[in-house]
Structure formats: structure tokens, C-alpha cells
Amino acid sequence: GESVGLHLPTLSVQEGDNSIINCAYSNSASDYFIWYKQESGKGPQFIIDIRSNMDKRQGQRVTVLLNKTVKHLSLQIAATQPGDSAVYFCAENMGWMRFGAGTRLTVKP
């Protein structure tokens, strides 16, 4: 069936390095995606979104890239900080959000 999934369950980076979190989706009709950050014991926090008519969108220290040809989405975090340590989810807008399993990002000082 259709799914939204992530390539790696964990990612460890050094503080100050850039982080890249990847996501594959299978529904070619998907037209809107959101990246969420979830810290332990908290609800998902909206980071950035992108519509399918865009290839790239930038926020503060974050960039989302969308490759519709290979149905791939990525989140880039520049100059990763310890406060970025969390689980990151990509989600597909179905009217409600369909989430993947998540990638745990750990930032080493």
C-alpha cells in the first residue's frame, strides 16, 4: 500500500555540522508535505512545509527539498545544535496527516 517512510531510523551528528534527514513517499499524487520535530514527551512541532509545485523551501536554518521524480523529500538542518536533538517526521497531507515512523537525530557536543 501507499506509505510515507524514512530511510534511516537514527542519525548522529556533531554539533555545528549540517544534518540531512531523508524521507521517501509512494503516493505520486501527494501535493503537500510537512516536516515535524518531536521531543520526548511532547507533541509534534511544525518545522516547515512544502507544496508539490515547489522543489525547495527555506526557513530559519532548515531547508526542505522535494524531488517528485523519485518521490523523495529531505530536511536539511544547518549548523546543528544540541537543541535539535529529537525525532523528525515527514508527513503527507491527506486532509489529515499521514506520518512515517520517524528519524531520531542525536547531536553530539
Partner 1 sequence: DTGVSQNPRHKITKRGQNVTFRCDPISEHNRLYWYRQTLGQGPEFLTYFQNEAQLEKSRLLSDRFSAERPKGSFSTLEIQRTEQGDSAMYLCASSPRGTGGFNEQFFGPGTRLTVL
Residue ranges that bind partner 1, judged by CB under 8 A = 31-32, 34, 36, 41-46, 49, 51, 89, 91, 93-102
Identify the burial level of 71 via C-beta atoms within 10 angstroms of its C-beta, where 0-12 means exposed, 13-18 middle and 19 or more buried: middle
At 86, the amino acid letter reads A
Q: How far from the centroid of its chain's Cα atoms is residue 40's Cα?
A: 17
C-beta closer to partner 1: residue 17 or 39:
39
- Which is nearer to partner 1, 70 or 96 (by Cβ)? 96
Centroid of chain to Cα 77: 10
CA–CA dist 80, 28 (Å, integer)? 31
Contact 53, 68 (CB under 8 A): no
Instruction: Give least dist CB 109 to partner 1, A.
Output: 25
Report the residue number, 51 or 56, with the smaller CB distance to partner 1: 51
Closer to partner 1 at the Cβ: 72 or 98? Answer: 98
Shortest spacing between CB 15 and partner 1, in angstroms: 25
In the complex, the smallest distance separating the C-beta of residue 35 from partner 1, rounded to whole angstroms, is: 12
Name the minimum Å distance from CB 12 to partner 1: 17
Q: Which conformational region is residue 27 in: left (phi greater than 0), alpha (psi within -120 to 50 degrees), or beta?
A: beta
